[in-house]
């Protein structure tokens, strides 16, 4: 990927003055660092970048960045971001969320964002738990995890498979990274932003407060995938996936959805359309 030779902007230029309030050891610290580093590497003008989020620990990210941001309601980040990108094709639009926000209440929006293939970069920080509300099972929690008082014997449900859903629904860029490997995560974010279409980056981001066993992620992740444009090959890789494979899984060539352009109407013209 081509990057500009100059270094007018550095990662710090994309950080706000707010100090993150995540728990000590949260993987999201590394994610925001990787995002700002990627923006600096791409030398994107801060005023031409917008960050949209829903609700959850990970959705605080727009507040910690110094680009335009919108902290929306639970699960609705993707439709807001889609509308923004439709209206302002010139902006680089990033979307942040977690497994609860993106795959539970926002699950329907996730599937249709993949299908539409609008030019967005969706970064999901998955820790398989609702950390903000003190540790309930999320859509990606293992069926036998009994760490929540609400489900002491586990949910008994198969975990949601976000990469398989994304590939089935039509996402044209799919990757997975580990927050403990910021260099690889930065690379994938750069690639995702550069890709013209819907980019989905699944980030294994441990919640060591409610899932302390996730400290072992660093010993379980393994760089496995090289990007392919063959969906069948990508599906085969997912069949062999243990949930800890990292890399860019799929990079397709489907054109990004771009709405038909129309001349903007003046306020007077719009008002006239509603006159009775």
Instruction: Give the SS3 label for residue 162.
Output: helix
Q: In this predicted structure, what is the pLDDT of residue 167?
A: 98
| Cβ 111 vs Cβ 191: under 8 Å | no
Q: Are 62 and 46 in contact (CB under 8 A)?
A: no
Strand 199-204 versus strand 222-225 pairing type: unpaired
Q: Is residue 3 part of a domain?
A: no
pTM assigned to the model? 0.92
- Read off the pLDDT of residues 242-270 as tens digits, 9 standing for 90 and up: 999 999 999 999 999 998 765 666 778 77
Residue 230 lies in a domain: yes
| 237 is a domain residue | yes
Measured N-to-C along each axis, helices 162-169 and 231-239 cross at an angle, to the nearest 10 degrees, of 160
Position 6 pLDDT exceeds 90: no
Asked whether residue 35 is assigned to any structural domain, the reply reads: yes
Residue 67 domain-assigned?
yes
pLDDT above 60 (res 1): no
Domain range for 243: 27-273
Mean pLDDT in residue range 31-56: 97
The residues, ordered by sequence, that sit 6+ positions from 169 with a Cβ below 8 Å of its Cβ are: 110, 111, 112, 114, 115
- Yes or no: say if 185 and 34 are a contact pair by the CB < 8 Å rule: yes
Report the sign of the C-alpha dihedral through residues 31, 35, 40, 46, in that order: negative
Q: Indicate the number of domains in the chain.
A: 1
Q: In CATH, what number is assigned to the domain containing residue 98?
A: 3.40.50.970
Looking at the domain assignment, is residue 2 inside a domain? no
The answer to the question of residue 8 being in a domain is no
Residues 6+ apart with CB under 8 A from 266: none
Which pLDDT does position 124 carry in this prediction? Answer: 98
Average of per-residue pLDDT across 161-171:
97
Q: Is the pLDDT of residue 7 over 70?
A: no
Domain assignment present for 16: no
For residue range 87-140, list pLDDT tens digits in order: 999 999 999 999 999 999 999 999 999 999 999 999 999 999 999 999 999 999
């Amino acid at each position: 990927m081509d990057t500009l030779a100059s270094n007018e902007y550095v990662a710090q230029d994309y950080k706000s003055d707010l100090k993150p309030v995540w728990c000590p050891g949260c993987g999201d610290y590394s994610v925001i660092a990787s995002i700002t580093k990627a923006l600096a590497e791409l030398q994107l003008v801060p005023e031409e970048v917008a960050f949209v989020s829903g609700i959850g620990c990970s959705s605080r990210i727009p507040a910690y960045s110094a680009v335009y941001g919108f902290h929306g309601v639970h699960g609705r980040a993707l439709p807001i971001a889609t509308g923004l990108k439709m209206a302002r094709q010139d902006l680089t639009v990033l979307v942040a969320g977690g497994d609860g926000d993106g795959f539970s209440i926002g699950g329907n929006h996730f599937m249709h964002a993949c299908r539409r293939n609008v030019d967005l970069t969706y970064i999901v920080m998955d820790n398989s738990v609702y950390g903000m509300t003190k540790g309930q099972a999320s859509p990606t929690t293992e069926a036998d995890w009994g760490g929540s008082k609400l489900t002491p014997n586990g949910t008994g449900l198969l975990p949601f498979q976000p990469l398989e859903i994304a590939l089935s629904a039509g996402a044209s860029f799919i990757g997975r990274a580990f927050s403990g490997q910021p260099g690889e995560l930065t690379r994938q974010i750069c690639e995702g932003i550069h890709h013209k279409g819907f980019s989905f980056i699944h980030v294994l981001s441990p919640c060591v407060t409610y899932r302390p066993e996730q400290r072992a992620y660093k010993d379980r992740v393994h760089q496995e995938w090289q990007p392919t444009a063959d969906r069948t090959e990508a599906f085969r890789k997912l069949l062999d996936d243990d949930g800890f494979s990292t890399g860019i899984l799929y990079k397709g060539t489907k054109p990004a959805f771009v709405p038909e352009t129309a001349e903007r109407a003046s306020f007077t013209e719009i008002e006239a359309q509603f006159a009775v």
